[in-house]
Structure formats: C-alpha cells, structure tokens
Amino acid sequence: MSKREAALEMGSADGLGGYRRLAVPGSAVGDGFFMMLGVFFVGAAGYELVRGVPRWPEGLITTLGLVMGLGLAGLTCLPRFERREGGPMTHLYCFENGFVIAGRDSMRAVRWSHITVTAERWESGTGDGHESGTRRTLRAPDGTVLAHFTGREPEQIGGYGVLRLHQAAVEREDARPLPDLPCDDRIEQSDRRGAEER
C-alpha cells in the first residue's frame, strides 16, 4: 500500500471527511533561469554535434556543454523529486475536518480544531531580487510544531490552502460541534485527562 493510500485510509477511519488536497511544507519551486540556461547549453552542444564544428580540444567542449546543460536542467526537477511520494519531505494529506501528517516512517491524524495556525509575513531583497511571502506554522495544543510552511512553496501545495481548510473547519465546528471520533490527538488528550484525574 502506498503512503497516499494509507493516509487516505487513516483519514477515513478517523472521520476527517472528504480528501481535499496535498500540502508539502518546505518545498521549493524549480528555477526557470537554470532550466533556460540548461536548454541553451544542450542546444549549443547539440548544434556542434550535428554541424561538426571543430573545437579545441575536439569533443571536450561539446561533452562539457552537454553535461552542464543536463545538470542545470536537472536542478529544476530537484524540488519535484524531493516532494515525491516517499521522498524526504513531510506530506500533509488534507481533509475537510483535519489532516494526516506523513513523514518518512510515521503517520498521524490530526483534527483542524486541535491545532492553531500562525502566519508571519516576510520580505527579503531589494529591486529585482525582492521576495515576499507568508510563513505559516501549524502547532499542536502543547506548542509542538507539526508543520512549517516557508512561504516559498508552489501555490498548489503551499500553506494558504491549508489555512483556508483550517478556517472553514473551525467555523463549521463552531456552528455545530462534530462528534468526538478517535484520532491520535484525542487519544493523547484523554490520556492526559486520565493522568490529571489520578
């Protein structure tokens, strides 16, 4: 069973509602500049191979051009490779009423109502190098950081969609409380309450 299938099954078993989206905190966007530079080098080296333009030392420049071009083009694929299923990055499988946080070796179901989401705006650089974004941090009731979005993630897997799902679920729960279904957070809270009563 794949990690995605296991997360969807866990979300369904814990009553988190319908699946909505995938979020990958800390993921980055591939850099288009390197892709274009890579295409240029591959094109130039390909032209030399096809046209047979002599260069000193013969073949070295063409080989270096191909290697550099493919390497630079490959850099743009690195973020997609890192966020693949089973990759080194944490995945959040988001549902209507919560999410399943899946690391390399573990999974945990969490309800939206059991976490807080904080947002912090950031800016860096000036002129053409100016960047800005919003860091979003998901925290458990005890203050533990569950996920941290840097604000540089691609929009389709970033923190804004997670924030919107959290807000909608909290508003729904404020309007009509959901029944308490078992999930890791509930079990931990009931264990803490039992320890406090003793």
Rounded to two decimals, the pTM is 0.63
Q: What are the pLDDT digits (tens) for 139-183?
A: 988 888 888 888 777 776 777 888 888 888 888 877 765 555 555
**DSSP 3-state of 190:** helix
CA distance 51 to 107: 55
Q: Which residues, other chains included, contact 99 with Cβ-Cβ below 8 Å and sequence gap of 6+?
A: 11, 16, 23, 92, 93, 109, 110, 112, 162, 165
pLDDT single digits (tens) 23-74:
887 766 655 666 677 777 777 777 777 777 655 566 666 677 777 777 777 7
Are the C-beta atoms of 166 and 117 separated by less than 8 Å? yes
pLDDT of residue 30: 57
Angle (CA) 56-60-61 rounded to 5° is 75
